[in-house]
Chain A
Amino acid sequence: NAGVTQTPKFQVLKTGQSMTLQCAQDMNHNSMYWYRQDPGMGLRLIYYSASEGTTDKGEVPNGYNVSRLNKREFSLRLESAAPSQTSVYFCASSGTPPGLGTRIGDNEQFFGPGTRLTVL
């Protein structure tokens, strides 16, 4: 199992350019997440997808869009990159089944290796 994979590993953009960060998991997980990590701020949730076909905003969604392409893949798109979006981006997945009405928080999130994005 590769776990959670992300592409690209590094990217440099100019202000106003667009790009899509790709994420895939091979653990048959239902839930997937996109975070950004900035110094002194920990990880902040951008968007998440509790199950295939659903997406929801997290703490810092402005300037981003997501697509849950299928159960395996969850992409993050920057339509018009800004310097404030310079960050390290992590994708994660967890196996929490959707809509059961039970508390299944013992499924930890598994993280990809990250994408380091610089916007000039």
Chain B
Amino acid sequence: AQSVTQLGSHVSVSEGALVLLRCNYSSSVPPYLFWYVQYPNQGLQLLLKYTTGATLVKGINGFEAEFKKSETSFHLTKPSAHMSDAAEYFCAVTSGLGGNQFYFGTGTSLTVIP
């Protein structure tokens, strides 16, 4: 069984401040992990993904995430928030098996304060 927990349904940061969005996963097999971003009234867009290899992965728009197996975490960070980062962020996990089903967290809404 697989699941994802995103701590904090709403996060607010000041423009230029560090962004940290938390994601913890549960998986009985080695996971593949993803972060998606959703802008208002749009579909989901891939930010970054971890499959194998380097545990620190870089994505689009300056975001990065680190896979920490010992902590079962895949937190998303960005050193300096921009107004355009305001959106909903979803963490997801899959094993790649069973039709590549994804299991999504409940999402974190990021507000950037000018």
Contact = CB atoms under 8 A, between A and B. Distances in A.
Interface of A: 4, 31, 33, 40-45, 48-50, 56, 58, 90, 92, 94, 96, 98, 102-114
Nearest to A45: B101
Interface string B15-30: 0000000000000011
A95 to B, nearest CB: 9
Given A106-B51, A109-B44, 8 more contacts: A40-B106, A43-B90, A45-B101, A90-B44, A94-B100, A105-B31, A105-B32, A108-B46
Contacts of B51: 105-106
Contacts of B96: 96, 102-106
Nearest to B107: A42
Contact of A48 (B9, B99, B104): B99
Contacts of A90: 43-44
